[in-house]
Amino acid sequence: MLFTSLHFIILALVTFGLYYLPALRRWQVFSLIVASLTFYAYNQLNLLWLLLLSVTINIVASYYVIYGPTGSQKLVATLGVIGNLAILCFFKYSPLFARTFLSIDAGVGAWLLMLPLPIGISFFTFQGISLVVDTYRNRHVDAYRSLIARNMAKHAETVLFFKAFFPQLVSGPIVKAHDFLPQIKPKYINAVRWEYCFRTLVLGYFLKTVIADNLKDHTYIVTYPYFENLSSLNLIVLLFGYSMQIFADFAGYSLIALGLAALFGYRFPINFNFPYVSSSFSDFWRRWHISLSSFLREYLYIPLGGNRHGKARTYFNLMLTMVLGGLWHGAAWSYAIWGLAHGLALAVERFLTDKGLFLMHSRVARILKGLWVFSFVTLAWLLFKLPNFSHVIAYLRAIAVNTTKPIDSLAIMLILMYAFPVVAYHLHYLLGTRLPAVQLNWARWDYVAYGLLIFMIITNSGSEGTFIYFQF
């Protein structure tokens, strides 16, 4: 069920109406659980059991870390993390294992290749790991222990709600247990941040329906073999358009998730902070998919040793973290290569910074570094659009050799037209940070701008399409 579909809007409105009825206040969490399971089962009813199995593993593990026999906590937590990863690896990576090591024409290989990919499995698995690890780390902290109810049924309700809450269930943000659990308490309609919800939802729907959904109707041609006869300029503009599309699609989803959560009284972490203004790769990962990068840092990079064991180990930890982060995105080696590319970029950047070679702070230097980071990031998106690595090579070869092919000016104009709002969105942020007075003057026109966004949503939305990150 897409956030942009009529069925979802009806579900959200009915749930919202029941949620704030005073007579049903004690059932608020239950009403959101029912809505969330309905939301998930709408498209994958046959896989609802898998979500519930994942939830059950985390209910049992987190409960017995607190209330189990003394001395068993580490074992229970370890088994809980293994259980989460086992589900993720089996359903997401078995087809990759089959294609790499087995015959896919018959037998086990063919069976593994037919396994369904549950929507959002990467997201709800990471949230489960967060719950188990946070509970283990804070098992002696009274404020956290109080969040794990002694009553197993009550604890089960809490964990099911935490993992299944529909705004973040299938594409995040990845909400950590230590951020979410303290928020579970009665909510009141007079506490809703209406202006925040309005701004966030309108901008999110605009980015998704007007920008991403229109761009997808042009960037679909970045698939083999359709791109082979396009001019080099068209291929470059298409790649730029896809870079704008993937941002608008995922940032749009995240904003909608934040707005929906706020309507029900919950705060989610910001997931995107104008990533295309970054002048370094480390800055990019502080701005892009923030909930994933912070999760990887907190639950993988730091436990691996972070930067505490020398420079060589730091570079290795960076690259390993990014490779695993790449594989988290998809069951294809191209995602691992994408992660490795970003890991190498981060490691090289840190090495140059350590040597004092990446510390140029002039305006021209920042612009040049920003263009380099954006170009690298945009080129790397090819590995998302074309999971078959040979097709990536074919695309790059076409850019190099198709210089004499005729240019399709109309296609270029349409892509640039729909990409322009994303560029303007980032420029508005840059001007606001550099010239606060300009930002203040623009603020008085905010509602005119949001009115225009609503008009564009109504009149110029593209054809409905799934969110790109649903596949992860």
Active site residues: 329
Q: Which residue intervals of 48-176 are DSSP H helices?
A: 48-67, 73-88, 94-101, 107-113, 121-137, 142-145, 152-164
CA distance 38 to 285: 34
Alpha carbon distances (Å) from 94 to 91, 106, 120, 282: 6, 15, 17, 32
CA distance 433 to 138: 38
Contact residues for 287 (Cβ-Cβ < 8 A; gap 6+): 272, 273, 274, 275, 277, 278
CA distance 376 to 416: 19
Nearest to 325 by CA among 347, 293, 303, 299: 293
Nearest to 262 by CA among 373, 363, 187: 187
Alpha carbon distances (Å) from 347 to 282, 311, 353, 354, 362: 10, 9, 10, 10, 23
**Element housing 198 (H / E):** helix 194-205
Q: How far is CA 17 from the centre of its chain?
A: 29
Instruction: Let me know how long the chain is.
Output: 472
Query: Locate tokens 């993720």: which residue?
Result: 88
How many Cβ atoms sit within 10 Å of the Cβ of residue 16? 16
Q: What Rg do the C-alpha atoms of the chain give, in angstroms? A: 23
CA distance 262 to 194: 9
